[in-house]
Amino acid sequence: MASLSCSLGNWRPVVRHVDDAGPQEVAITIDDAPTVEATPGLLDLLRRFQMKATFFVSGFRAEKSLELVEAIARDGHAVYAHGWDHIRLDRAPKGRLIQDMSRCEALLAQCRPTPSPYLVRLPYNGGYRNSAVHRQLQSWMPGCQIAHWRLSTEDHAIASAQATTADIEQAAEAAVRRVLDHPGLPGAVILMHDQPVNDLPEGGVKAQASLAVMRHLVEGLAAKGMASVCLRPLAAPSFLSRFVFA
């Protein structure tokens, strides 16, 4: 629902669809990247199916594996910041949001030029409707936009400590089927994760879940004659949109 509020003309666009999408296009977006257990396999699947994705990178992970960010950029995928630590930046002390995003982007800038306009995805999507968050993002990176999604794979719920390989495979297939059968699929921004940041250990079932979701997703899209493209910022948001949250 649209709402007027104290944004002082600083509402940033919230992107849920591919701007000017062809009927066969979607944008796969991958949060919490990169990890050594999942990222190379995700890149391999995208390469095999000739699809492009948009990676939202957590600085604390990228710092340990910058060569993976370089590999993502080299393959022609889009790379943007998901903050440094994976925390609710809208609830963090003043200044932390910009500090986290700046620190992450400074690292990413070693691997590819800083894109403009910029897209951010907030950890836990925290504060995407918060005018103070929008104002801070605008002051940090004028023209930046918030990457939301239309369809989520809910992949963070697939792996569990008790899950077997067969459980993971079945749950991943069902999760992707739900996304592929959704009438809003054409043009959709689709959310999935590298390995989601949570209490489960890295590798094992968690990496299996990410790779199974990606495999079903690219196979399913290809079977429909569809493809994933890099998420593009919205072209020329209207002047009025800065005053209205939509």
The residues binding Zn ion (CB under 5 A) are 31-32, 123
Per residue in 155-172, is it b (16+ CB within 10 Å) or e — as a string?
Answer: bbebbeeebeeebbbebb
Q: Which is nearer to Zn ion, 59 or 123 (CB)?
A: 123
**Residue 193 parent element (H or E):** strand 189-193
CB of 63 to Zn ion, least distance (A): 16
What distance in Å separates the CA atoms of residue 177 and residue 220, rounded to the nearest whole number?
8
Least distance to Zn ion, CB of residue 22, Å: 28
CB of 120 to Zn ion, least distance (A): 12
**What does the block give as tokens for 195?**
């390995």
Cβ proximity to Zn ion, 119 vs 226, nearer residue:
119
The residue (of 123 and 237) whose beta carbon lies closer to Zn ion is 123
Cβ nearer to Zn ion, comparing 127 with 237: 127
Residue 197 CB, shortest distance to Zn ion, in Å, is 6
Query: What is the smallest separation between the CB atom of 48 and Zn ion, expressed in angstroms?
Result: 26
Kindly give the residue spans of alpha helices, DSSP state H, lying in the chain: 39-48, 59-62, 66-74, 96-108, 131-140, 165-180, 204-223
Nearest residue to Zn ion on Cβ basis: 31
- Based on the number of CB atoms within 10 Å of its own CB, is 22 exposed (0-12), middle (13-18) or buried (19 or more)? exposed
Element (H, E) at 245: strand 244-245
Of 31 and 155, CB closest to Zn ion: 31
